[in-house]
Amino acid sequence: MEQIVTGEAVVLDLPCARFPARILSRIIDMAVELVAFFIIAILVGAGESSGTLDSATGSALILTGFVLVIVGYPLAFETMSRGRTLGKLALGLRVVTDDGGPERFRHALVRALAGAVECWALFGVPALITSILSARGKRLGDIFAGTFVLRERAPRPAPPSYLTVPAGGIAGPGGPYPGTWGPGVAQPAVTLIDPALRPWAASLDLSALPDPLAESAASYLSRYWQLNSGPRDALGQQLATDVAARVSPPPPPGLAPVVYLHTVLAERRNRAFARLMPWSSAPQ
């Protein structure tokens, strides 16, 4: 997994494509490109044989066809499919920007032009070297374009739980906040957002929540069980008050500060995930 920090200081874990999968997807794409080029060459040859085309025109068409296939194929597919060629589609891969956003025309153009040089003119040697050395498996085109390749079909890990709820839960609207696990117990994480709170969470206006305050709340929740109960509760109440002053609408009556902070941060992260990964739904 590769950690991506968004502009709102939200950390997302994205599964980078493994080197063998990238190689296989590239082989598929190169096979498609070679077939397309051979078809063009056969058509041009047939035109020259029949006298429809002279040799100069045929050579120009061959050169134009080569450029269209080598550069136009990845450019068109990655732009229209937002980061996928036929090879990547077959292997469940997708090109995204360094911050996890969708690939756009300018990124695809840079990758296609660089790919024509590093993968064809230089037989893939630069791509092989940089992919091995890069933590995200980037080839030169990815480095220049500010992109990397992720695995769409990889099992998505559960989003990080800011809080593990003790047995009996924590008081919330309509009963205890669900949870049956305590600190230090290797059990699945609780649901990020209580189903009873999801309608309220979906209505939250988080635009005025500053990054430093959100980071402080996340740090508090991650250290919740390490703090003494008295100072912990006081700090949680203070943080909840500060967050509530910048987030609307207000929390449901009786909602514990720790659950309020947990829900606000979970909703903030889910929205960041949905915005940066528009082809997939954010986890709830």
Q: Write down the residue that tokens 């960041």 correspond to.
A: 272
- Residues 243, 175 share a domain: yes
- Residues 245, 207 share a domain: yes
Using alpha carbons, list the distances in angstroms from residue 51 to 42, 55, 226, 271: 14, 9, 84, 62
Q: Which amino acid is at 118?
A: E
Domain end call among 151, 180, 205: 151
| 90-134 pLDDT, tens digit each | 999 999 888 777 899 999 999 999 999 999 999 999 999 998 898
Stated pTM of the model: 0.59
| 126-159 pLDDT, tens digit each | 999 998 898 888 999 999 999 999 887 655 544 4
Structural domain for 111, as ranges: 2-151
How many Cα atoms occupy the beta-carbon half-sphere of 158 within 13 Å?
Answer: 10
| DSSP-assigned letter for residue 167 | T
CB 177 within 8 A of CB 197: no
- Residues 180, 142 share a domain: no
Instruction: Choose among 113, 122, 190, 175: nearest CA to 144.
Output: 113
- Residues 145, 12 share a domain: yes
